[in-house]
Amino acid sequence: MQRLIVNLKHYENSTGKQAESLIKLLTARTQREDVKVSFAVSPFDLRIKSTFKDQDIIAQHVDPNPQGPFTGKISMDFLMKNGITSSLLNHSEYRIDSKIIQETVTKARKLGFEIILCLESIDEIRNFIAIKPTHVAYEPPELIGGNISVSKSKPEIISEASDICRKNNCELIVGAGIKTAEDVSKSIDLGASGVLVASGIVLSKDPLGSLNSLIKAL
Ligand code: G3P
């Protein structure tokens, strides 16, 4: 199963009511049984899952604590009760301490919660593979939000990351600057099993058309 994760981030047109409108628009996308499309929404919008029961709504961040006296935290336990079974972690725009990463990945494995662990370099991938993440998202921060994609700019790193992940039973997703079908097909050819995209869809003049062209290229 190939993956396309749309990170709605925290743009004006992808939060609150507008997140709902955007996801509604994107439900009309091309359907492929071999492609799973997920929407990573702002914490404020996680309740959108109750409106879009058939869509894979995921969190942008999750904490390792259970439910209890934890002000401001988002627990896996509560997300799972509400039908959300996956989260990004350690995104370049929300980096966290390595001990917390380890604690969160370990807890997620026990609960069967999926963590997409975002890492910025091959060195980070080599280091964190030891904690046995099920999914790694490689995103070089300097390319995020731009027009030069990770697959054009870092093909050797994607290949190397894909070897490391395959040997460790981990799925590799890549992101940063992905805007075109060619960016996607190149990522897959280099060994990724999916892509993580934000501005290419969220800021597109035609978000549905953009999503469809990326889905077709997977
Ligand atoms: O999480 C996705 C991301 O950071 C990439 O952003 O705008 O380059 O697709 P963008």
Q: What end-to-end distance do the CA atoms of the chain give, in Å?
A: 10
CA separation for the pair 32, 7 (Å, rounded): 20
- Which residue has 């749309």 as its token pair? 6
Band of pLDDT at residue 72, cut at 50, 70 and 90: very high
pLDDT-derived band at 1, boundaries 50, 70, 90: very high
Quickly count: other Cβ atoms within 10 Å of residue 128's Cβ: 19
Catalytic-residue membership of 91: yes
207-217 vs 17-26: helix crossing angle, rounded to 10: 50
Per-residue model confidence as pLDDT tens digits over 32-64: 999 999 999 999 999 999 999 999 999 999 999
Q: Give this prediction's pTM.
A: 0.96
* CB-ligand 1 contact for 196 (6 Å cutoff): yes
Q: What homologous superfamily does CATH list for 2-217?
A: Aldolase class I (3.20.20.70)
Q: What is the Cα–Cα distance from 40 to 43, expressed in whole angstroms?
A: 9
Tell me if residue 139 is catalytic: yes
pLDDT band per the 50, 70, 90 thresholds, residue 158: very high
Look at residue 110 in the predicted model and tell me its pLDDT: 96
Backbone angles phi, psi at 36, to 5 degrees: -105, 120
Catalytic residue chosen out of the listed positions 61, 114, 120, 139: 139
Residue 155 Cβ contacting ligand 1 at under 6 Å:
no
Q: How far is CA 94 from CA 61, 72, 193, in A?
A: 8, 15, 23
Evaluate whether 121 touches 129 at the Cβ level (below 8 Å). no
6 Cβ neighbours under 8 A, 6+ residues apart: 26, 37, 38, 39, 40, 197, 198, 201, 202, 211
Q: Whose CA is nearest to atom 5 of ligand 1?
A: 176
Contact of 175 with 195, CB cutoff 8 Å: yes
Strands 35-41 and 56-59: parallel
Q: What is the mean pLDDT of the chain?
A: 97
Half-sphere exposure of 197 (CA within 13 A, CB side): 31
Q: Which atom of ligand 1 is nearest to the CA of 202?
A: 7
In the chain, where are the structural domains located?
A: 2-217
Element (DSSP H or E) covering residue 210: helix 207-217
